[in-house]
Amino acid sequence: MKNKITYLILAFIVNFSFIQPAYCQLVMNDVCCPEHAIEAPPPNLDCGVRDAYRYFSLGVGPVIFIPNVGIGYRERYSQFGWDTALSFSTIGYAHQLSAHLVGHYYLNPLRRNSAYLGLGLMGSGVFTNHKEGGGTLSPDFVFGKELERQGDSRHFIEMHVAIPTMWMGSKHTHSMYFPLMYIKYGIAF
C-alpha cells in the first residue's frame, strides 16, 4: 500500500511538472510585438501568479457539524503552491488538534482566483475529558477555490477529505475507512 501511494504521488508530481513551461510558451507565442521590440532584449515575462500569506480559518470538521478554527500559511507560484495549517475542533468532551501539509496544483495559473487540487498529509491528536486519546495519520485530498480579491484582502474556500485514516490508540493501531472531512473558509491576515 505504501509503495502504491508513493508511486501515485511521484507520478502526479512528474506529470504536472511539464505543464507550466509548455503553457507559458503558448501564452508568449500569442503575444504580438512590433518589429523594433524584437531587436530589444526580451522582457522578463512572468507567466503566472505569485502569492504568499498567513490566514485564519473557520469551518466544520472532522465530521460535519463540528466547529473548527485554525491558522495557516500558504504560498503560490503560478501553477503550484503549498499550504500548512494547524486547526482545533471540539464537541465539549472530545477535542481534536490537527496539522496538515498540502501541495496545491492550480487549474488556471494565470488567474488569481483559480480553483486548485491538493494532496498532502494530515495528522491529528484526539483527546477527551477523561484523559483518553489517540492520534490519526492520513493522506489529505483537497479541492478548493481562491475567491475574488477585494483590495488587499485574500480569501478561499476548500474541502479536505482524509481517507484511509490510520488510528493510533493507546492499545493498538488500525485503519479506518471512514472519511474525515473538513470544509473551511480562510481569510488572510
Question: Does a structural domain hold residue 14?
Answer: no
Residue type present at position 61: G
Cis peptide before 164 (omega within 30 of 0): yes
Distance, CA of 162 to CA of 148 (rounded, Å): 27
Question: Does a structural domain hold residue 8?
Answer: no
Question: Does a structural domain hold residue 99?
Answer: yes
8 A C-beta contact, residue 74 and residue 86? no
Could you tell me the pTM of the whole model? 0.70
Cis peptide before 43 (omega within 30 of 0): no
pLDDT in tens, 6-59: 655 555 554 544 444 444 444 444 455 555 555 555 554 556 678 899 999 999
Strand partners, 125: 97, 135
Question: Does a structural domain hold residue 142?
Answer: yes
The CB density around residue 46, as the number of other CB atoms within 10 Å, is 10
Count of CA atoms in the C-beta half-sphere (13 A) of 13: 11
Question: Does a structural domain hold residue 71?
Answer: yes
Residue type present at position 165: T
Number of domains observed in the structure of the chain = 1
Q: What's the CATH number where 152 sits?
A: 2.40.160.20
Non-local (6+) Cβ contacts of 82 within 8 A are 74, 75, 101, 102, 103, 104
Question: Does a structural domain hold residue 12?
Answer: no
Give me the pLDDT at residue 27, please: 46
The CB density around residue 153, as the number of other CB atoms within 10 Å, is 12
Quote the domain boundaries for residue 109.
49-188
Give me the pLDDT at residue 98, please: 94
Give me the pLDDT at residue 173, please: 79
Question: Does a structural domain hold residue 37?
Answer: no
Give the torsion through C-alpha atoms of 187, 156, 6, 98, to 10 deg. Answer: 40
8 A C-beta contact, residue 72 and residue 84? yes
Give me the pLDDT at residue 166, please: 82
Give me the pLDDT at residue 10, please: 55
Give me the pLDDT at residue 175, please: 80
In the numeric block, the cell 501564452 is attached to: 27
Question: Does a structural domain hold residue 21?
Answer: no
Give me the pLDDT at residue 6, please: 60
Intervals of the chain under pLDDT 50 = 14, 16-30, 44
